[in-house]
Amino acid sequence: MTPTGRVPLGRTGLSVTELGLGLAPLGGLYTDVSEQDARDAVETGWDLGVRFFDTAPLYGFGRSETRAGAALAGRTEFVLSTKAGRVITSVPDGGGQDFWAGVDPAVAPVFDFSAAGIRRSFEDSLERLGVDRIDVLHLHDPDDHLDQAVRDAYPEMVKLKEEGLVAALGAGANSGAVLTHLIERCDLDVVLLAGRYTLLDRTGEPLLALAAERGVAVIAGGVFNSGLLADPKPGARFDYAQADGELLNRAIALRDLCEAHGVPLRAAAIQYAQRHPAITSVLVGVRSADEVRDAVAMAAHPVPAELWAALA
């Protein structure tokens, strides 16, 4: 894998680096991140040649977008993706913070896949990012709103593209079935599959086959499955919750197998996804300059064919 090599993002006319930075952690995922650490993460990625950045209104209830926009201001020739389907709304009694630390307690994300909601979400994102257009706009986690996403949200996204405000239309979800449903009903350019094509979970394989058949580019996210494949130890998370004993043991066995071949588990986790012919780019979530440097190093780490054979 050449982490900073540029590749075409399907039929979009955009080109992305094979490694992209997922900026959810910059919003304070699990633990708070300072303004300086957030800026250092993005700037380090830039200095190392990464030119693909992904964010969303949900991430830190707008904080990730604001920080991404500030760090990328004045730069050119990169690809920026964000998402729509949640509107950040003032709440009188304090927002439910869930996984987010350091967020404004007076706001909370609210699902809204109406045409007006998509438009408002998009316009709010433009303001936070400090840009006048978006490269890739994804429907975000429409799992429980699929009918409305197809009927109302997607047509509004098409209008945004026709107005020249968006270059490519996509959808992002933690479910291959959800993305399959959308590809079959909407003319998407790209999908972001999170956590469903990894060393621990390959349930996204049918979606990858369909995307390849339809000419839809695929971005792989969540390749560490919320951290278990980055550092398997008691208390590590799998899909946002503490991993059970069986999953932990599987991850430890994978780590031991990788290390027997002289390869860190993180390197195999990143490159495993990139090896699939349907996957264009892999997003790795980062919260610091050190994590960015590690992600770039792991994406480029040599992996012998014998390890891939053993993992298969």
* Residue 303 amino acid letter: V
Q: Quote the CA–CA distance of 15 and 6 in Å, as a whole number.
A: 6
Strand partners for 79: 52
Q: What is the DSSP string of 5-29?
A: -EEE-TTSS-EEESEEEE-GGGGTB
Is 161 a residue of the active site? no
54 is a catalytic site residue: yes
Active-site position among 37, 54, 112, 189: 54
Q: Which of 264, 229, 265, 260 minimizes the C-alpha distance to 247?
A: 229
Residue 215 sits at φ, ψ, to 5 deg, of 75, 30
Q: Under 8 Å CB-to-CB from 263, ≥6 apart: which residues? A: 301, 302, 303, 304, 307
Determine which one of 37, 83, 189, 197 is catalytic. Answer: 83
- Strands 190-194 and 217-221 come out as parallel
Place of tokens 């909370």: 108
User: Does the annotation mark 272 as catalytic?
Assistant: no
Choose the catalytic residue: 37, 40, 47, 59.
59
The catalytic residues are 54, 59, 83
